[in-house]
């Protein structure tokens, strides 16, 4: 009797372990879709006038999205004028992500003159190799006052 109770508790423990593993695997497969943005992207940014839609400029950059919802952007612009960007992101629906980037601005002598916060949404294609999106950039002075805005549009291809 004692031996059969021991065997029964081992079988129950094994079943519990298998059930937990299936639950974890299921949760990971659900999160896998949300995490499809994770990786490094070669991105083209076109900065638009928010009122008229007229292009104000464009530049390339590398966007890196990390597990857990953080990221980094290295713009291909003069590093003396604009810092690398730090970002947070989240999946808001199937294949659509919301991102917020912050970077610091500097004048020609290297003094900090404020920062920029960009909020945008991007949609990723079904095979997770390209994305496109748009948003709004608010430009702040060093006292935190909004001094301007632009509306960037993004297209990206996965960097491999």
Over the stretch 42-70, which tens digit does the pLDDT of each residue have?
999 999 999 999 999 999 999 999 999 99
For residue 55, the cross-strand partners are 48
Short-list 109, 87, 108, CA closest to 98: 87
Q: Give residues with Cβ within 8 angstroms of 132, minimum separation 6.
A: 122, 123, 153, 154, 155, 156
Helix or strand holding residue 25 (H, E): helix 2-34
Q: How many structural domains is the chain composed of?
A: 2
Query: Which structural domain range is residue 3 located in?
Result: 1-34
pLDDT value at 14 more than 50: no
Global pTM reads 0.74
Q: What's the rounded mean pLDDT across residues 91-111?
A: 93
C-beta separation of 94 from 110 below 8 A: no
Q: Tokens 């953080």 correspond to what residue?
A: 70
| pLDDT, position 75 | 82
Helix (H, G, I), strand (E, B) or coil at 106: strand
Residues 86 and 57 in one domain: yes
pLDDT band at 31 (very low <50, low <70, confident <90, very high): low
| pLDDT, position 30 | 45
Least confident of 1-5, 70-74, 93-97, 140-144: 1-5
| pLDDT, position 43 | 96
Q: Regarding predicted confidence, which is higher, 18 or 41?
A: 41
pLDDT band at 160 (very low <50, low <70, confident <90, very high): confident
CATH number of 65's domain: 2.40.160
Residues 50 and 22 in one domain: no
Residues 29 and 69 in one domain: no
């Amino acid at each position: 009797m004692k031996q059969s109770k021991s065997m029964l508790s081992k079988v129950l423990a094994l079943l519990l372990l298998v059930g937990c593993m299936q639950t974890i695997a299921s949760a990971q497969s659900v999160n896998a879709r949300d995490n499809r943005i994770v990786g490094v992207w070669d991105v083209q940014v076109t900065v638009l006038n928010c009122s008229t839609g007229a292009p104000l400029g464009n530049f390339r950059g590398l966007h890196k999205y990390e597990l857990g919802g953080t990221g980094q952007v290295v713009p291909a612009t003069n590093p003396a004028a604009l810092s690398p960007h730090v970002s947070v992101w989240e999946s808001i629906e199937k294949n659509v992500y919301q991102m917020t980037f912050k970077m610091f601005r500097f004048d020609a002598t290297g003094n900090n003159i404020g920062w920029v916060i960009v909020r945008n949404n991007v949609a990723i294609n079904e095979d997770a190799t390209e994305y496109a999106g748009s948003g709004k950039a608010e430009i702040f002075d060093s006292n935190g006052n909004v001094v301007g805005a632009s509306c960037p549009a993004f297209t990206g291809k996965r960097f491999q």
